[in-house]
Amino acid sequence: MQVAKVSDVGGRVTADKFGSGFWTGRGNEPFRRLVRCSLLGIAIALLPMTPAVADGTQFVPLQVSTIPSNGDTNPYGVAFVPLGFPAGGLLNPGDILVSNFNNAGGLSGTGTTIVRVTPAGQVTLFFNGNPTNLPPPKLGLTTALGVLTGGFVLVGNVPTIDGTPATIQSPGSLLVINRQGQQVATISDPVLLDGPWDLTILDQGRSAKVFVSNVLNGTVTRLDLDVGAYNVSVKQKVQIAKGYGFTTNAVTLVLGPTGLAFDPVTGILYVASTLDNAIFAIANAAFASQPQGTGTGKIV
């Protein structure tokens, strides 16, 4: 399972995907686990370049540039290619994917690329949504990056025209990309996918539940997907949380619900809401049919 996001200059270190866990009954235990995962990510980022040996395998931390040939910057999303990902494409299990939110000029919401980093540190271009580099691309690839074991990559898109809040092209969308780096579908909804900013996945092979935080309306949506050999189809879209603070900002572009972590043991989805400066827990997230109570879940 994906455990932590670690990105270079312009990105951040965040705990994003839990492999497993348990609820102890202590009110702040989920928060402690989230902090521990964050500290683990920071520790990995700060490890010295001295080789270390763990379980008989040599481990050498790598530092690579995520800037592709078109100059895109500001790496936002980070995702691991999981075990079981099918062969025959550009990706292999253990690869890391990084989505860029800015273009070469540093304009937010104009990055169009995803780069691949191999375990050996080789960096190649996986996806370019604007290969001719001609405006307007109408792409700004967000933190919402995930990989399905069925052979597809999902990435959020919140584009702008010139990098300012006034030109955000709402509602945005989720792109579906096959293992050859080709976009095969777009998932959109003016309400249920309004600024897809981050995501996490409960991967069930031929089906998946994808939780998406929407930064432009302060909500969380669950997408129930069927995963075929050549495409991904949406069975249903369900809003499972609402009421998180959100706003646009001249410096950060947007603020709202961002990081998501799903605990498959307890069924709890954790939501890091930036503007609220809080982490919320949503119970029964994989099966909820509507927001419960006040809509945000409980603060942890």
Average pLDDT, the chain: 85
Alpha helical stretches, state H, the chain: 29-46
Q: 88-115 pLDDT, tens per residue?
A: 999 999 999 999 999 999 999 999 999 9
Q: Which pair of structure tokens corresponds to residue 97?
A: 């994917």
Rounded average pLDDT over 151-171: 97
d(CA 94, CA 16): 17
Q: Is the separation of the CB atoms in 285 and 233 below 8 Å?
A: no
Q: Grade residue 59 by pLDDT with cuts at 50, 70 and 90.
A: low
Q: Residue 46: left (phi > 0), alpha (psi -120 to 50), or beta?
A: alpha
Rounded CA-CA distance 70/211 in Å is 31
Q: What's the CATH fold of domain 4-47+54-299?
A: Neuraminidase (2.120.10)
What pTM was estimated for this model as a whole? 0.81
Instruction: Please report the sign of the dihedral spanned by the C-alpha atoms of residue 222, residue 82, residue 3, residue 61.
Output: negative
Domain parsing of the chain, residue ranges: 4-47+54-299
Q: How far apart are the first and last CA of the chain?
A: 23
Q: What local confidence, expressed as pLDDT, does residue 132 receive?
A: 82
Over the stretch 182-240, which tens digit does the pLDDT of each residue have?
Answer: 999 999 999 999 999 999 999 999 999 999 999 999 999 999 999 999 999 999 999 99
